[in-house]
Structure formats: C-alpha cells, structure tokens
A and B are shown apart, each in its own frame.
Chain A
C-alpha cells in the first residue's frame, strides 16, 4: 500500500484547500478513498452522523502534478482511510503560499497522511513544514460501506436558488424551528417552510427550473407527474444549515432531488468536483 501525490500549481492548491475546507465543515470524520483516477470523501449514513451521507468526488488529474498509488492488491487497487478533515484543512491552511505540497501515506507512530510543504524564504534553503495526520486504514472487508450511493428514485428534481440566498433564509428559520419542510414541483417552484405553534413561515422560490434527467431510471416516477404537485420532505434544519454554511466551492450547478417524505439529495457540481449530500426525512 503506497500513496504519494504532489501539488505545485497554486490554483490547484487553493482549489483543493477549498474542497477540503468544505468537507471539514460537513463532518468531523469521513472516509478518504483513493483510486488511481479519483479521490473520494465519503460519509455513509450511519446513525452517529444523524443519517446524513456524503459523496464527494475529485478527479486527481485536475489537482495533482504527481500522483502514485499502489493499492491493497492488484485486483483492488485502492486505499481506504478514515480521516479527520479538520486536520487536513489545518495542514493545507499553513501551506497557502507553498512552492509545492507533497502528500504521502507514511508509517510513523501510526499510519499517517504526511503533508509536507516547501515554503518560500529569502535564503537559499527552503523552509519545510510537515504535518503527520493520523489516519485509520479501513480493511477491505468494510469497503462495501463506502460505495457510491445511487441516485434515489426521486419525485421531483429542481435547481437550487443561489446558495447564499438559501443560507440567509435557512439561518433565519433556524431561530424559529428545529425542522424545515422543503418542497418543490416540476414547475420550477420550491418552498422552504417552517411551522410552529406560534408562527408559520414560508419562503417561495419560482422559475428555478427542473434538471433534465433524460432516460435515466430515476425519471420514471416524475414522468407522468402533475407539474403543480409538490413533493415534500421534513428535515433537521441544522443538517441543511451545515450543508449551506460549509460551501466554499462556488458550484456551477446546484440541485436537489426530493423523494417525497423520505430523503433529500443535494448535488453540487463544479467542473471537476461533485458533491452529493443526503439528508433523511424526519417524521
């Protein structure tokens, strides 16, 4: 099991830092799956994480100038690690103007991801900062927990309004209620609602548009649907807030799939990065 990668380009470094920062806002620990072509940050919907799951996919070629991986076995050329994204984020933060950053899987006092950054100096010799970040190596028999989730058979899929706007709304609603109902229809309309004994608040969004999912299997249920009919899910408002709060990547596309009374599936696409986030319904 070997892994080493290197970033030289400042733009790539900043981009990677933003992705990691986003992940660190979403979860305390997650799985980092390394394959020859991609990196994945994965959170599987365990009770401990409030049933929330996450899938973030990066194409390594878009970030790294060098990338070498030797997986667990030739037929399973992957490495699966449990990491604390906050530590990765901290390590990257101190490497902001680095000439280059190397990431290596190392065996120190325990398995570590070692970040080494070469920092510019006035003298001829560079300043080097290294961070040994402890990781847990996930044995192969547990890998099945961390497979890409399939797109749920949703009732309605809708483009999201600008995330900042949505965040402002949700932040205010959070002061009034712990739960939020998100509903949308095939007519490009979405509502965010809270209801308490004292007050009901609804924010209406319209003309958002519905993503064309083509002949994808998920289209089945929404095909013959009344465009005005709302599909709705009630979620823990903190989970949604956390998702909106952590966004540091400006997505080119943001959408939400709603499975009526079951789950919401949020998708952010930004060039080479995709982030999927699942929030289960609460009764």
Chain B
C-alpha cells in the first residue's frame, strides 16, 4: 500500500505563495518597522515581515514600504511622528526581539495622526515558533484596530495532488500556517484523500482516504500523529464534521442504500441515522450552537441547502435562488453561511445571510468550491482553478478583499481553516 505518514516532513512542493488581487477602497496605512534583533548573530526570522504580510492579506491595511521609511525606530524614544506623517502613515508598529532559551517579542503601536501610543504588549514562546509569535502580534494589532479578533495564528489543512497522467496521482494532506507558510505533509497516498475537517479544539483532524481501495473516514491526532479508522462501511463513507462540543461526528454513509447523514457518538462509536430520504443527503455542517445541522440534498430535484433540527427532527429548506446550492459552512456568528452556488453554468462561492435570507455571490471565477470560513468570520478560503490548475483563493465575507495562494507545483484543493488554537 503506497501510503506514508510523513509526519513532520517539510515539503516545499506543497508550498503556497500569496498574490493579493483586491483590497478595500481605503485601507489603513500602517508601517511595520523591522523589529530590532537583540540576540547574537543574525535574526532567525524577520518577524516584522510576517506581521506586515498578515495585515496586508486582510485587505484592510496598506503596508508602508521599507524603502519609504525615513527612520527605523525600535523604542518609543526613537519615534518621530513627523517622519511618518510625511509619508501618510496612520499607524506605526515597532518592536524588539530577544532570545534566552525562548524568544520574546516586545511591540508598541502608535497613532501617528493623534501622536500617541495606542498599546503595547509582548509574545514569548519556543524559538522555532517565531512565525507563530509574529502571527500572534498581528492578531493583537488587528483586533485593536478593527475590533475583530485576529485569526492569523491559525492553521490550514489542504489536499495537494501531483498528477500522473495515465497512472495514479500522488495525494498529500498538508498542514500549514494561515498564510500558507511552513507546510507539513501529514499523509501521502496514491489513492484519493479528501474532506479534511478539524475537531473544535484544533487538536485532531478527520478526513476521507481511499487507501484501502474504498473510502473510509479516519481520525488523526496532530500532536502524536496517531490515527484510527472510524468507518469501513459498504458504499460512501464521507463528509466527517465534528459537532461544536466535540462529542459527535456527523458523516455521510450509504450503507443502508443511499447517502444519508449519520451521527457517530465519539465515546462509544454508536451511529444514529438522522436523514432517511431516497435522495442524496450529504455535506453536513453544524450550526455553532450544535442544535441543528445544514446539509445538501437533491430531494427537490436539484441540490439545495436544508436544515435539520436535532431536537424537533424537523427539516426546512434554506436556499431557493438558482438550481445548485451545496456544501454549506457556517460562520461562528451563526448568521453567515458560505456555500457553492451555480449561476449560468458557473460555480461561485456565495454567502447566505440567515437573518435576511439574501444570497450574495462573492467570487467571479468559474469552478469555485470547498469554502471554509476563518474562525473570526472575516475571510473565506476556497478552491478554484487558474490555467487548469487547482489553487486556493480567499475572499472577505463582504466580497471586498481577494487574494490567491497558488502552489508552486501541482493542484491544491479542499482547504479547511482551523478553529482558534489554544496557546
């Protein structure tokens, strides 16, 4: 069996780069000055670059180029506001990086227009987690300036495929930082891997692998790499989705004749069937309160999104616009639902507002799929095609910000954005 648990192996082939294609109309000008390195030798990482990249990618900030900086302060005493007003900077972030047995990043944010410090803070952690510390600083700055919790110190799962025309492709399940950096291949196989999903605590993942020549759902612990096959039923074994409390996994099985949604109790592995329809019922997604599930069904003839209430057992249809709405994912606010919507033969990512019941199309490319929403609800990561290759792309929930994460090699697909991760 050509399958490998390549745990901890860095794989440059799965590396993603970032191309920002659209930002907000009036992004906030922020200067992230290179942080002063207070250790010996060369700094192991340009932390300011990581922070700058995070803020830029949000689309809400316009970075000030280093070449334009008239001074490079690292303490409040070195800050001359006129240097920053002169280049139309609104906010200024400075910092210092020191190392003992751990790395420590001290940072300060200034309001250039009001000529006043906004706040200061620090992050510390293992030296080899320098990038993570940078993402945490970006999270703090983002939250201070937007009022929205930052989601840069999170992770992505995705599947990358190296084509072997006429033969069996290579499939890799990869874990990376939210900016695509530091990719780690978790699983490699010559058989398809799909539907990666996170446990609510971010410690475990589930996915579908065809390594046994049939689809089966696996659960894998990220810290230990230990994994376990959860299902091995005749027919479909797909769409694993952990409940918000982590005690239950929704999944799709066709063992009883056609695809239906089942719930697996993670303590005793008992199954409960919750849809019993001769149509296709698939792609379960939990509402954040855990009381209902959204799913795709073609019981009305074409795939549409339905909601199943776990207490009453009632099912109601949520989408009515167009003849193809599928694979819903719900934001933590329980209001914004992202899904795949077909319009004039093209598949776009759309946002359904459960309060107004309005559908907004967010993307303009043709083969968009697998939307995954950031834990802070700000951005939607999805898979699309560019020049016949699968790539990842992101769009803000208001459609105003767009960026792409093309891979250096192969096709990339099925992104899954992690929940907030414990420190």
Q: Do A and B come from one complex?
A: no
Measured CB to CB, the residues of A under 8 A from B are none
Measured CB to CB, the residues of B under 8 A from A are none
